[in-house]
Structure 1
Amino acid sequence: MERTRSFKTEAQGHLYLVPTPIGNLDDMTFRAVKTLQAVDLIAAEDTRNTQKLLNHFDITTKQISFHEHNTRERIPQLVAKLQQGLDIAQVSDAGMPSISDPGHELVNACIAAHIPVAPLPGANAGLTALIASGLAPQPFYFYGFLDRKPKDQRAEIEGLAQRPETLIFYEAPHRLKKTLQNLATGFGDDRPAVLCRELTKRYEEFLRGTLAELADWAATDTVRGEFVVLVGGNPAPTTTATTAVDLSEPVEVQVDRLIAAGEKPNAAIKEVANLRGVKKQVIYNTYHHLDKE
């Protein structure tokens, strides 16, 4: 067990996780502005994009790039600066840090080094879409981006098909058509769903219907903007999958239970991986005893 206070005073610095607007700049909080003004350095996913935000709020704090392509190099540098007493704010291009950027790895590195991590509340596309979708707001299951490879995406969808919660996905416009087709195939044409486009921006809109109807729309209309895709949960799941998983139960037992309920082995392995929040290969290796060789 470890106990860390976000605001205790000591020689080392603090890592602040600062949300940024997902479209409308008025959604920037007073606290977020003050934090970005006060820290010694801002670790930004795209410094050019963040500079526009800083200019709008007259923030002159120096930036350093921090994105998926320089994570291995940058994290030790940022941790060293924090240990030297500098306060650092991490921001993504839009919304909450750590969701679709390498912030999670930085947070873990700070925790390992006993550096305080202070999260700020703010804009989040998934929850913003959820509360206006009309679908059940709780329980919900945030998945984020599905795999880009068609075969792997279909396997992911198959593993999620039995979940009873409202599902939240992110998707880029050029992949939306195919993703909706795969969702309709994997979940069923009649599953209720909502497309939330350009949230908080001038052209914000919600498209509500079945997965089949939304897939037809994406196939015939011009798709523009960033999307949050919400899908209603399975009202009558046919497997024993639940929203919680007993981590003390052997992986083999969980996979075999799903197979006995009618799922194919690969789909069962994928579903257990989703429930446990790990990569499919990890469960595959454990199930087939490849990690013990």
Structure 2
Amino acid sequence: MSHRAEINDKVTHVTGNLAKDRFILLQLVTKDFKLRYRRSILGVVWSVLNPLLMMIIMSFVFSYFLRGSNVENYPLYLIVGNITFSLMNEATSTGLRSIIDAAPLLKKVRVDRWVFPVQKVFSAAFNFAFSLIAVVIVMLFFRVVPTWHIIWMIPALLLLMVFCMGVSLLIGALAVFFRDMIHLWSVLLTAWTYLTPIFWDLSLLTASNAPWYVIAVVKANPMYNYIDMMRCAIVYQASPGSTVIILSIVWALVALLAGYLVFRKTEHKFILYI
């Protein structure tokens, strides 16, 4: 067999595997969507109602605590931060158990294992898309007219998905060997929620004379940067700062690289522990 023929065979093999993986991803995302709303009367409407109801409750409660804050359009500020963080929360929480839950399938069918954590990210992003309807409703209610800066939503969402894929690959692999990761990640997410300016504003730290390193930690927080990009696109209607953009890219690449390396190094042992 000639060298060119070998290359063609390899290309055909890789292309075939990618086509199979895309098909499996589509089927798994569709299955997740159907299971999420099975036997639910309102169905997908909950993806819109849930962020709206949370926004109303949290706006009512926290608006009294944030009177010294400079946040304008607080309900819109809140709902954008909430649905963005919820995307990460859902993607990583389900990605954490993706390999463990797929054990029956992995023991019967030969399939690339990375598909399962990545599929959870796409499912969360699909749910996020419906949550944006709630954002539109809030914008209409408060008469907020979008500008061309809305385009920043695209890189913000893509970078956040890459970040979530990396984290899901990492913790999904670790959870196979260390089931305590399931409980630990729940605790970390709770702490992460309060570390991220979802319902509060960074200006509160400045007003309370918080140490510089506390503010630096918050600004280095990956979710602070992704949420800030989303808010720039929708709430602030301005371009994100260069630091926010750079950190968003760096966190996405670091998470993806770490997740890929750990996953590739450990995936051949999954079958022994699931």
Question: TM-score, normalised to structure 2's length?
Answer: 0.28
Length-normalised TM-score, structure 1? 0.27
Higher share of residues assigned strand:
1
Q: Whose relative contact order is higher, 1 or 2, with alpha carbons under 8 Å and at least 6 apart?
A: 2
